[in-house]
Amino acid sequence: MTVSADRATVLPPRAGLGLKPEHYDTILDARPDIGFFEVHAENYMGAGGPPHRYLEAVAALYPLSLHGVGLSIGSARDLDTGHLRRLRDLIDRYRPQSFSEHLAWSTHDTGFLNDLLPLPYTAETLSRVADHVDETQQWLGRQMLLENPSTYVLFSESTIDEVDFLTAIASRTGCGLLLDVNNVMVSAVNHRLDPVAYIDRFPVELVGEIHLAGYDETIDSVGDRLLIDAHGTAVRSDVMELYQHTLSRSGALPTLIEWDNDVPDFATLQAEAVRADILLNEAALKSRSSQAA
């Protein structure tokens, strides 16, 4: 099923947070002013138990974004229909306002690799990814968003630029795109590329959600700067600057703060959401001013 490539998200153009078990009670007791919450689909594929009781309660109060990490859209093997069925059941149960997955692969032969691995950008892989996105959207009966990856290696056989690759997938399938600004920064630094030039070429009219996160920094074996997409710190200042530049092109869009490792208290996460909301409000104001002029 090919679906419309228009923005299909109904998430509010505000900052959201990842829903963490250690914050369930705080959220339900205080009902903080957060735009939306996002969960990883694979954490809720069981039939019941406390996680679902809490998620049902949170979803009754806030818009919900569902983010997959295990579908292996870029794999050379067929998609796992059992995984697709569980994903469909979860979406039917919660009716999230957005569903997204990664441009990556994690399955090989009969095994599953617990990581999001990169793929070469060729005509062959483009066709395969497009087929898998189409199949996923057919199973789910809705549009999905596809996320740009963070990468640490490039493939000599790649013949297509990453932005062109993602744009072509969206054009062929009608999927939307999830723009991870931290991933742009990580990949750009690791491959000595210009992150602003990447954003300037990105089809922001297809973006249904933005992700922000913190990276770790180290030095590689030849003494060069290496960034790791770690999701264990506050969003770095250079990523926030790149995000602000992104909003100058896109206008205000739903924006998730990802903090999945060394998770802090909820107040710290909420402060990160406020940082993003300030920039989102500025972008919305500029957009309204330009429309009125």
pLDDT tens for 120-133 read 999 999 999 999 99
Q: Confirm whether 20 is domain-assigned.
A: yes
The answer to whether residue 9 sits within a structural domain is no
Looking at the domain assignment, is residue 2 inside a domain?
no
What is the structure's pLDDT at 253? 98
Reduce the DSSP state of residue 31 to 3 states and report it: coil
What lies within 8 Å, CB to CB, of 101 at 6+ separation is 67, 68, 69, 71, 73, 136, 144, 145, 146, 147
- 37-40/64-67 β-pairing: parallel
Note the pLDDT of residue 4.
Answer: 42
Give the pTM: 0.93
Q: Is residue 211 part of a domain?
A: yes
What is the spatial distance between Cα 210 and Cα 215, in angstroms, rounded to a whole number?
16
Residue 102, classified by CB atoms within 10 Å of its CB into exposed (0-12), middle (13-18) or buried (19+), is buried
Per DSSP, 205 falls in state G
* 192 within some domain: yes
**187-233: per-residue pLDDT in tens?**
999 999 999 999 999 999 999 999 999 999 999 888 889 999 999 99
> Has residue 80 been placed in a domain?
yes
User: What pLDDT does 265 receive?
Assistant: 98
Q: What share of the chain is helix, strand, coil (3-state, %, to 5)?
A: 45, 20, 35
Cα(215)–Cα(208) distance, rounded to whole angstroms?
23
Alpha helices of 141-265 — where are they, by DSSP H?
Answer: 162-173, 181-190, 195-201, 237-250
Q: Which domain holds residue 146?
A: 15-292
Number of domains in the chain: 1
The amino acid that residue 78 corresponds to is D
> Is residue 62 situated within a structural domain?
yes
Distance CA 287, CA 271 (A): 25
What is the CATH number for 22?
3.20.20.150
Q: Give the residues across from 253 on adjacent strands.
A: none
pLDDT at 114: 55
Q: Which residues partner with 228 through β-bridges?
A: 216
Per-position pLDDT tens, the chain of length 293: 444 433 445 899 999 999 999 999 999 999 999 999 999 999 999 888 999 999 999 999 999 999 998 898 988 889 999 999 999 999 999 999 999 999 986 656 565 455 577 899 999 999 999 999 999 999 999 999 999 999 998 999 999 999 999 999 999 999 999 999 999 999 999 999 999 999 999 999 999 999 999 999 999 888 889 999 999 999 999 999 999 999 999 999 999 999 999 999 999 999 999 999 999 999 999 988 877 76
Which pLDDT belongs to residue 288? Answer: 85
> Is the residue at 267 inside a domain?
yes
